[in-house]
Structure 1
């Protein structure tokens, strides 16, 4: 009797006369069939990461955008992983490469650079059907190390600087407009209430450490009238 121990990080595909007879999970197992009729293949089911470096594609508006693709996956169906393709990892790598290039080509370079973080969900969904056929679960396909040609990078920096300068000018104009509006409102209030002007004069003199001289005189009918001067 033949026994086989399978670890938690793998699955064992047992064939008898070339036909899959069992897929064994972690533990100790008694193998079916006679030894000379039987074969066992172990498949690693742990998470794996494949990095595709030095990829290049044309964006919608400029050529020569360089990037890398990180592909994280694990085997979900050991039989399909062994049977469907002679090199399933290479097929998976190609699917991720095509999906990433299509994603870059459909966008302007500015959107590629700024939207890199949001590309993960789209790329993962794009690669998932091909991966499922190979017996693989795609956990994540992400875009990394995006680089644009030097002249394009300089142009983007100039555009960004111009945008910031325009925003700063707009904020300064808004501040000046608000100050003029406040000044106009204050002038209108003084014109409608002359007493406020005298009060403001007294306050300004007091705040500046000046002297305030009041002139009192008798008004017609015995009413008192007052004026203020600041020095």
Structure 2
């Protein structure tokens, strides 16, 4: 192995001698410490990375089989921890994001899942970031993507929405009919209690139809 190494931009080089980390090299050309036979160099990419987790499924509070994907933006901030704490740190990030997303969906109705996407991003990012920081990874964002439900569930939801709309319409019609009957009953009682109102209403109806009204006035006794 050469005594010098050139570290490219966007990477770091972790140098070990006899299995122990002795240096983390930034971009540039560096002279390597230790004997070649006892030295190892591992290059770690520290650029921002996108981890896309597809074909996920979870049950919401009111709907089973919610399908979704998860997009995780992350980067390595501690090359030593990234290479030593876990055998597969990206798999650990993937698992943490899957569990967090399923738990988040399971605690909400489908409507909330669809309308609280911004809140989901904030909640999932904070939760996943805290859980995987020890692997030398900084999680920048965890977002739900492509949230859908199976076709049969969509049809069921549509039928439910139609049924609710028709039920509300029937209820509104019933309320209108009840109000009309109540008004008619009140009017009937008023006419029964005041016969003069019936005569007045008769005169009013005749005038509205253009009829002629003849009033008979009795003689006044002398």
Q: Same fold (TM over 0.5)?
A: yes
Structure 1 position 116, deviation (Å)? 2.2
Please tell me the root mean square deviation across aligned C-alpha atoms, in Å.
Answer: 2.3
Instruction: Give me the whole-angstrom Cα distance separating, in 1, the residues matched to 2:52 and 2:7.
Output: 29
The structure in which a higher percent of residues are strand is: 1
Match of 1:83 in 2: 84
Match of 1:25 in 2: 26
Structure 1 position 152, deviation (Å)? 3.2
Structure 1 position 130, deviation (Å)? 2.0
Structure 1 position 160, deviation (Å)? 6.0
Please list every run of 5 or more consecutive structure 2 residues that lacks an aligned counterpart in the other structure: 169-222
Match of 1:67 in 2: 68
Instruction: Give me the whole-angstrom Cα distance separating, in 1, the residues matched to 2:44 and 2:112.
Output: 40
Match of 2:174 in 1: none
Alignment check: 8 A CA contact 1:60 1:105 kept = yes
TM-score, normalised on structure 1?
0.67
Instruction: Give me the whole-angstrom Cα distance separating, in 1, the residues matched to 2:157 and 2:140.
Output: 33
C-alpha distance 7-166 of structure 1, shift in aligned 2 (>3 A)? farther
TM-score, normalised on structure 2?
0.70
Which structure is richer in relative contact order (CA contacts within 8 A, separation 6 or more)?
Answer: 2
Count of residues in Structure 1 that have an aligned counterpart in Structure 2: 168
Instruction: Give me the whole-angstrom Cα distance separating, in 2, the residues matched to 1:147 and 1:85.
Output: 34
CA displacement 1:173-223 (0-9 Å, x = unmatched): xxxxxxxxxxxxxxxxxxxxxxxxxxxxxxxxxxxxxxxxxxxxxxxxxxx
Counterpart secondary structure, 2:127: helix
CA displacement 1:16-66 (0-9 Å, x = unmatched): 110000000011111111111110000000111111111001111121111
C-alpha distance 28-59 of structure 1, shift in aligned 2 (>3 A)? same
